Homo-oligomer: A and B are copies of this chain.
């Protein structure tokens, strides 16, 4: 375990704890022990506690007065709510992108799109998802709206640990690719309204929610055995 010795310690610690949560080393509902994390990162309680406060406002953990912190348990509703929001933000990013994007940026996205199609034809799931993500990120960047990007990235962070890409059925996959064909067309026409609509309806998110339905606990607030 590499000790931390960087400045802006609290932010570094927060990111590291975020990673632990994302990778499941800190389980949902698990009690977070300050002392344990202090030892692990080699920092004192002051920056660690600052990190906990920040993570709480970012929605990754929750603070229980006088009883420490624990990892937020994602409920199905919570994830659904978050994805609805992300879809709306993607829609906005599409609208704005059409208004700001340069020919060169469109060309770059077209490149990514073509690459993605190759991965689709080869049924290479992971590369497909990676390029897919790059496309959405490019559109988000082209929106030229910093606040939007910040919010999206926060929401994305919250649900990262339950994002699955495995159980993609052939039917959903082909539909997603069709969506992307329409997206490219709308983008190249710079049809703001249309691209916004497509992205809002893009079923990518809905697939994931459907997939998750079986995975996440429906309970809201039961406490759980800790480490």
Dominant SS among interface residues on chain A: helix
Residues in chain B near residue A151, CB distance under 8 A: 85, 151, 155
Categorize the interface residue count of chain A. 20 to 34
Q: Are A84 and B96 in contact (CB under 8 A)?
A: yes
**Given known A-B contacts A46-B46, A65-B7, A65-B8, A84 and B148 have beta carbons under 8 A apart:** yes
Residues in chain B near residue A81, CB distance under 8 A: 145-148
Cα(A172)–Cα(B71), bound, Å: 47
Whether, in the assembled complex, A89 has its beta carbon less than 8 Å from a beta carbon of chain B, the answer is: yes
Cα(A86)–Cα(B26), bound, Å: 33
Copy number in the complex reads 2
Interface residues of A in 13-33 (CB under 8 A from B): none
Whether, in the assembled complex, A53 has its beta carbon less than 8 Å from a beta carbon of chain B, the answer is: yes
Whether, in the assembled complex, A115 has its beta carbon less than 8 Å from a beta carbon of chain B, the answer is: no
Min distance, Cβ A112 to any Cβ of chain B, angstroms: 24
Whether, in the assembled complex, A128 has its beta carbon less than 8 Å from a beta carbon of chain B, the answer is: no
Cα(A96)–Cα(B88), bound, Å: 11
Residues in chain B near residue A140, CB distance under 8 A: none
Residues in chain B near residue A147, CB distance under 8 A: 59, 78, 81-82, 85, 155
Interface residues of A in 81-112 (CB under 8 A from B): 81-82, 84-85, 88-89, 91-92, 96
Cα(A92)–Cα(B57), bound, Å: 23
New A-B pairs, 20, CB < 8 Å, besides A81-B146, A88-B92: A8-B65, A49-B50, A53-B53, A53-B54, A54-B57, A57-B57, A57-B58, A78-B146, A78-B147, A81-B145, A81-B148, A84-B92, A84-B96, A84-B145, A85-B145, A85-B151, A88-B89, A88-B91, A151-B151, A151-B155
Q: Mark A59-76, 1 if CB is under 8 A from B, else 0.
A: 100010110000000000
Min distance, Cβ A34 to any Cβ of chain B, angstroms: 13
Name which residue of chain B comes closest to A56, CB basis.
B54
Name which residue of chain B comes closest to A51, CB basis.
B53
Min distance, Cβ A88 to any Cβ of chain B, angstroms: 4
List 15 interface pairs A-B (beta carbons < 8 Å), by A numbering: A7-B66, A53-B53, A54-B54, A54-B57, A57-B57, A57-B58, A59-B147, A78-B146, A81-B146, A82-B147, A84-B92, A84-B145, A85-B92, A85-B148, A88-B88
